[in-house]
Amino acid sequence: MSAPTVRRRQLGRTLRALREGLGLKQDDVARRSGGKLNGAKISRIETAVTAATAADVALILDACGVEDEDTRAGLLRLTREGARRGWWQSYRSVLSQPYEDLISLESEAEQISTWQPIMIPGLLQTGEYARRIIAATARGEALEDRVTALVQVRLARQAVLTGHAPLTLWAIIGEGALRARTDDPRIMYDQLAHLLAAGRWPNVTIQILPLTDAPHVGLTGAYSILGYGAHASLDVVHIESLTQALYVEGRESVSAYQEAIAELRAQAMSADASAQLITEIRDQT
């Protein structure tokens, strides 16, 4: 199963809306396709579990009676774009399916808001810091070559911040993450220096939530909100645990996380005060 890109999710939701607008069930569309599709496959296409082919989409559009050429052309374009190969697929031997999903969704996001209480966000990690984190948390056979490949993936992900159309990143980081210690103090010094540099990029905002702050909504754990601008219905929350990842969708659920991160932004130090604290901790390292 390939990772669900934003385009595939957009395609699936549009096809489902067309079908439901006509009062048709998935099995109805399957019958209208003359048996060339079945309800299970249509369901997988609508939920972006399966990458649709242009032929599949044409059959669905025919079954739904969609004749408008602009509509058909637009949906077929989404189909082709949703099936394109991503750079991360070269690393499939070391990537879990949830991680592949994250990279795919991240690569097309317009903005990301993240709350990380105990760790530097992956998009802002240096190579050596990432290596220590991955070696400590990777499950299964954490062989050196596998760890190296995962470090390469983590660093390659960071191109979303510096590419042709960089996304906007708003990172709220717990002070405890800055004060973590490694076997080599130079690693944290370099990591904090990198945070300071990234915080000066026009598309990156970094705020620190002090250890002394009162109980807050972030105590429930880390998460990231991936946003898609005009396609806000595709916004998704990513929550990662030791062995799996959870994706939260649906406007009410996503809105709850957006409200929570707005509270954290208000409670955290300003970007300037955060940079000053990062500098002080770096110089004490």
Mean model confidence pLDDT for the chain: 90
Residue type (1 letter), 138: A
Q: Which of 274, 258, 110 is nearest to 205 (CA)?
A: 274
Confidence check: pLDDT of 87 > 90: no
- Helices 54-63, 69-82: inter-axial angle, 10-degree rounding: 150
Say whether both 200 and 74 belong to one domain.
no
pLDDT at 1 over 50: no
Of 39, 67, 82, which closes a domain? Answer: 82
> Among residues 82, 105, 139, which one ends one of the domains?
82
* Average pLDDT for 96-114: 89
Q: Are residues 190 and 106 in the same domain?
A: yes
- Answer yes or no: is 180 within a domain: yes
Residues 196 and 60 in one domain: no
Claim to verify: residue 97 and residue 74 sit in the same structural domain: no
Looking at the fold, whether 30 and 58 belong to one and the same domain comes out as yes
Structure-token pair, residue 148: 């190296």
Query: Residue 69 and residue 73: Cα distance in Å, rounded?
Result: 6
Give me 112's structure tokens: 């990301």
Residue where one domain finishes, among candidates 57, 82, 107: 82
Whether 238 is covered by a domain: the verdict is yes
When mean pLDDT is compared over 74-78, 189-193, 235-239, the highest value belongs to 189-193
How many angstroms separate the CA atoms of 62 and 263, rounded? Answer: 48
Assess whether 118 and 56 both reside in one domain.
no
23 and 126 together in one domain: no
pLDDT digits (tens, 9 = 90+) for 55-83: 999 999 999 999 999 889 888 887 887 77
Report how far residue 131's alpha carbon sits from residue 142's, in angstroms, rounded to the nearest whole number. 11
User: What is the SS3 assignment for 119?
Assistant: coil
Using only C-alpha atoms, the chain has a radius of gyration, in whole angstroms, of 22
d(CA 4, CA 90): 16
Are residues 14 and 126 both part of a single domain?
A: no
* Domain-embedded: residue 263: yes
Number of domains forming the structure of the chain: 2
* Structural domain that includes position 49: 6-82
DSSP 88: G
pLDDT > 90: what percent of the chain? Answer: 62
Q: Is residue 1 part of a domain?
A: no
Question: What is the rounded distance in angstroms from the CA atom of residue 45 to the CA atom of residue 47?
Answer: 5
Q: What is the CATH number of the domain that holds 187?
A: 3.30.870
Confidence of residue 170 (pLDDT cuts 50, 70, 90): very high
More confident residue, 275 or 231: 275
pLDDT, average across residues 86-113: 88
Residues 144, 268: one domain? yes
Give the strand pairing for 204-209 and 245-248: unpaired
Q: How high is the pLDDT of residue 249?
A: 83
CATH number for the domain spanning 52: value is 1.10.260.40
* Same-domain pairing of 63 and 96: no
Asked if the structure places residue 48 within a domain, the reply is: yes
Question: Based on the domain organization, do 160 and 274 belong to the same domain?
Answer: yes
Confidence band of 4 (pLDDT split at 50, 70, 90): low
The answer to whether position 53 is within a domain reads yes
Tell the residue number behind the tokens 């220590």, with chain if given. Answer: 132
